[in-house]
Every structure is written in C-alpha cells, then in structure tokens.
Amino acid sequence: MARAACYAVSQSLGKTYNPLFIYGGVGLGKTHLLQSIGNEALKLNPACRIKYMTSERFTSDLIESIRNQRVNDFKEYYRKIDLLIIDDVQFLAGKEKTQEEFFHIFNYLSQLNRQIVLSSDRAPKAIPTLEERLRSRFEGGMIADISKPDFETRVAILRRKAATDNLEITDDALRFIASNVTNNIRELEGALNRVAASSQLTKSKITVNFVSSVLSELISSGKRKGITHKHIIKVVSDFFDISPEELTIKGRKKEVVRPRQIVMYLMRSELNYSYPGIGEKLGGRDHTTAIHAFEKIRKELEVNEKLQGEITLLLEQIYNIS
C-alpha cells in the first residue's frame, strides 16, 4: 500500500493523498520511498520546488534562523515549496517551538494544496508529546504502514540486487538468504553484500552451504524463538511423508535414513544441538552417527542442487516463512 500511495502522490501532487504519512520500522525503505517521490515528481515537472529533509535538520535550521533573527526568511522559504518531504518526523516530539512553526507552515502549504509527505517509525497516535493539533493534521490524509517484506518479496529484492551487482549466485542460495534474513531490506542487502565479498576474497562459488557458512553468526543470532527439535522432526516427517515416530526409533529403513540425516543436520545448524544431544533425541543413537549425518549433508549441499532446494523449502516451513 505504501509504495502504491507514494507513486500516486508523485503523479498528482496535492490532489491524491495530502498529507501522506508513511511509517514503519528501521531499514524497511522509508527514506528510499520518500526520495523516489521527489525524483518522480521532478521528472514530471523539472520546475517543481521540492524540499527533502529530516525533522532534525528542520529544527536545526529553525534554531539558526532565530539566532540570526531571520525567522521571517525561514518561513518565506518554506511557503514557496511545492513538495515538502520530512523524514523521521517523530523527532519533532517534545520540541514546542519547532512544532508551532511546523504547524503554521503545514497549514499554509495545505491550504494551497501543496503536497506534504511525512515519515516516522510509528503511527501519529503513537508519537509521544506530539501536539494534538499536529497529530490531527498528520491523520487528516493517507496513513500507510510499511511492513516487513514477505518471503517472495525478499527473494525478488535479492534477485534484483544480484543482477545489478553482476553477482553469480544460485536461486536456492538466494532463497536461503531470504529464508533466514527476515527483518528488513537493509539487513537483507547487507547479508548479500557480505556473501559477495566473501566469495570474491575466497574465489568460492556461492552455494547454499557457502552462504550458510558466511552468514552463520547473523543467522544464529536471528533465529526465531519457539523452534524445537520436535518441530523440526514434524516438518521433515511431513515433507517426506513418513511418521515422526519413524525418525526417532531404532532401525535403518531405507526410506527413513535420508530424512533422519536431514533432521540431524537441521538440529545442528538451526538449534546448535550437541552431537550427543542429537543422538539422544533421535532414538538414543551414538554421537558419531550424528556427526556423520551432519557432515554428509553439509558436503552434499555443496554440489547437490536437489538437496539445496529441499533444505531451503524445509527452512521456510520450519520458520513459517511466507
């Protein structure tokens, strides 16, 4: 919704959503969206007077104008703007004089149907010590929430960046990154940059296993709470159409050996279980069996694209990524 609203505003300043208030967490692309509005508006009308700034810069400029006794010049400058874009507007909270001046500028521009676009890390009603009259103005237009990108969007972002950077990377490796780095776009692109740098330094092909190794610290620190060995067993057993009990009892049925090895690999890679602990949870097997299973799957991931795809799909299901 936020992206569509930004595009609509850029095509018709002051007529579609005014003001447009965008909010969302750190690293979700708010600043990028704001700048895209300005860039698009300028393409359509090169004479458009656009001002992009943070609320902190607005406050700083206001203080400077007061110090130099040029407040009228300050006000006059903003009254000539066709598109005013203020980033991180939550930092106006608690600044009474700044809020007062911004309120008057806001009203002036609004009455002339000049476009105002604001961003914040939270909705207007959640900004503390924000004057009620400003809150009311902020809520008077369109409020759009930027949520975390879903799995397919994360994959698309990674594909686009990989193509832009001329990075050779398998689709399964991209999906693995998207499965494990879920917080925001900035962190997602940072993870890909780290993988690319490591690949260049070591002259390594970028596979799922290579990505897992490079991002091991990032992935382990960001694991979702509530994932247990029982959950992994359930997901794997459903995936291979066998019962969970078959994975945990003694026996070497051919159709169960491979899924059990994958469970052992995932318990180690995702939950950091000790090898004796893995053996104990899977029918009291010896720790050497767990070591063998982990190393076997780890090495196969280097070359087996089918296995890479299976592990990626299993991780998506384990973490309920959509």
Residue 130 or 220, more confident:
130
Confidence grade of residue 226 (pLDDT, cut at 50, 70, 90) = low
Above 50 in pLDDT, residue 322? no
Predicted local confidence at residue 103, as pLDDT: 94
Residues 154-182: tens digit of each pLDDT:
888 899 899 989 999 988 889 888 888 87
Of 313, 206, 321, 212, the closest CA to residue 270 belongs to: 212
Of 252, 178, 162, 160, the closest CA to residue 219 belongs to: 178
Of 106, 101, 40, the closest CA to residue 73 belongs to: 101
Above 60 in pLDDT, residue 260? yes
Confidence grade of residue 213 (pLDDT, cut at 50, 70, 90) = confident
Predicted local confidence at residue 220, as pLDDT: 59
Residue 313, H or E segment? helix 305-318
Question: What is the pTM (predicted TM-score) of this model?
Answer: 0.57
Q: Are 142 and 21 in contact (CB under 8 A)?
A: yes
Predicted local confidence at residue 121, as pLDDT: 87
Predicted local confidence at residue 224, as pLDDT: 52
Give how far Cα 115 sits from Cα of 30, 108, 191, Å.
Answer: 17, 11, 36
Q: What 3 state SS string does 196-232 have?
A: HHHHHHHCCCCCHHHHHHHCHHHHHHCCCCCCCHHHH
β-strands 83-87, 142-145: how paired?
Answer: unpaired
DSSP state letters, 158-209: HHHHHHHTT----HHHHHHHHHH--S-HHHHHHHHHHHHHHHHHHT----HH
Mean pLDDT value of segment 130-136: 92
Quote the CA–CA distance of 37 and 51 in Å, as a whole number. 11
CA 33 to chain centre: 14
Above 80 in pLDDT, residue 315? yes
Mean pLDDT value of segment 295-320: 84
Tell me what the pLDDT averaged over the chain comes to: 87
Domains of the chain: 2-145 (3.40.50.300), 151-221 (1.10.8.60), 229-318 (1.10.1750.10)
Predicted local confidence at residue 225, as pLDDT: 53
Quote the CA–CA distance of 71 and 49 in Å, as a whole number. 20
Q: Are 147 and 115 in contact (CB under 8 A)?
A: no
Q: What are phi and psi of 176, to 5 degrees?
A: -65, -45
Ramachandran assignment for 94, one of left (phi > 0), alpha (psi -120 to 50 degrees), beta (any other): left
Above 70 in pLDDT, residue 222? no
Mean pLDDT value of segment 183-201: 87
DSSP state letters, 68-85: TT-HHHHHHHHHT-SEEE
Residues 47-79: tens digit of each pLDDT:
999 999 999 999 999 999 999 999 999 999 999
- E-strand spans in the chain? 20-23, 50-54, 83-87, 115-120, 142-145
Mean pLDDT value of segment 231-244: 93
